[in-house]
């Protein structure tokens, strides 16, 4: 398919692509509905498109969670930036300092062995 940049991709990469594409499409839809809500003068139209926009946000979050559960880099970055406070651009630096220190945050990563 033209959307792929490589041939003979393993199934895991194809699924990864499916979710990334879904995430992109959901976020585009969020943007479109948000623009329609901002543009309309009819409050009933506004109510519907705002509802639709928020549904798409839910779908985008599901895709993000799928990525987070499977890929440590997504997990690590979402943990660093989501539900945080203060200057967002400084969070990455603080995370780096914590890792360097390696006290308390370090483990063998065993967790659940089921």
Q: Which residues bind another protein (CB under 8 A)?
A: 100-104, 106-114
Nearer to another protein by Cβ, of 35 and 101: the residue is 101
Least distance (Å) between residue 114 CB and another protein: 6
Three-state SS at 47 = helix
Which ranges of 1-114 would DSSP assign to H, the alpha helix?
11-39, 43-70, 72-81, 88-101
Least distance (Å) between residue 76 CB and another protein: 15
Least distance (Å) between residue 24 CB and another protein: 33
Nearer to another protein by Cβ, of 5 and 114: the residue is 114
Distances (CA, A) of 90 to 3, 54, 106: 35, 29, 21
Q: Are the CB atoms for 63 and 15 separated by under 8 Å?
A: no
Nearer to another protein by Cβ, of 35 and 84: the residue is 84
């Amino acid at each position: 398919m033209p959307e792929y940049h490589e041939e003979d991709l393993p199934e895991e990469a194809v699924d990864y692509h499916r979710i990334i594409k879904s995430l992109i499409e959901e976020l585009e839809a969020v943007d479109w509905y948000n623009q329609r809500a901002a543009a309309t003068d009819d409050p009933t139209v506004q109510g519907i498109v705002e509802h639709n926009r928020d549904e798409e946000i839910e779908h985008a979050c599901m895709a993000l969670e799928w990525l987070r559960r499977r890929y440590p880099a997504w997990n690590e970055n979402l943990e660093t930036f989501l539900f945080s406070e203060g200057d967002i651009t400084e969070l990455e630096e603080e995370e780096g300092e914590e890792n360097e220190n390696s006290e308390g945050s370090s483990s063998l990563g065993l967790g659940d062995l089921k």
